[in-house]
Homo-oligomer: A and B are copies of this chain.
């Protein structure tokens, strides 16, 4: 039985360990599923004034795409999936991409102890409520500082 056809792995490059990627990869291999990846950057006021915002975000997005490529290399992500860096609301971008790509499983990390971890928890919960498909939240180890 093929569990899933197309899996979307949502990664937070700064905070998420490799556990969600490892689980997503294992399920993709088991199901012979396509594996796509999304990383979302939420703009904050510290990115600068509105005038320079587009340039700043463009540079951030470019750097993030390079990090995503390195992440894919390090975790041995298979070819054939979509790799995306989006700017906007984490929840909305994950859900929009899940719908657009017609994935049947979203995999994301769930932290619990740190400040940003709580945000991630909220994201996981928000995605859970809006998702058009199954959601696997992977318990991550504490971040090694």
Binding site for B on A (CB under 8 A): 1, 3, 23, 26-27, 29-30, 110, 112, 121, 124-125, 128-129, 131-139
- A136 with B136, Cβ < 8 A, contacts A125-B128, A129-B121 known: yes
Give how many copies assemble into the complex: 2
B139 contacts A137, C-beta separation under 8 Å: no
B129 contacts A139, C-beta separation under 8 Å: no
The CA-CA distance from A110 to B129 in the complex, in Å, is: 8
The CA-CA distance from A30 to B131 in the complex, in Å, is: 25
The CA-CA distance from A12 to B31 in the complex, in Å, is: 27
User: A-side binding surface: helix, strand, loop or mixed?
Assistant: mixed
Instruction: Name the distance in Å between A95's Cβ and chain B's nearest Cβ.
Output: 13
Q: What chain B residues lie within 8 Å of A132 (beta carbons)? A: 139
Q: What chain B residues lie within 8 Å of A131 (beta carbons)? A: 110, 137, 139
Instruction: Name the distance in Å between A104's Cβ and chain B's nearest Cβ.
Output: 8
Q: What chain B residues lie within 8 Å of A136 (beta carbons)? A: 134-137
The CA-CA distance from A131 to B110 in the complex, in Å, is: 10
The CA-CA distance from A124 to B135 in the complex, in Å, is: 11
A133 contacts B129, C-beta separation under 8 Å: no
Q: What chain B residues lie within 8 Å of A124 (beta carbons)? A: 128
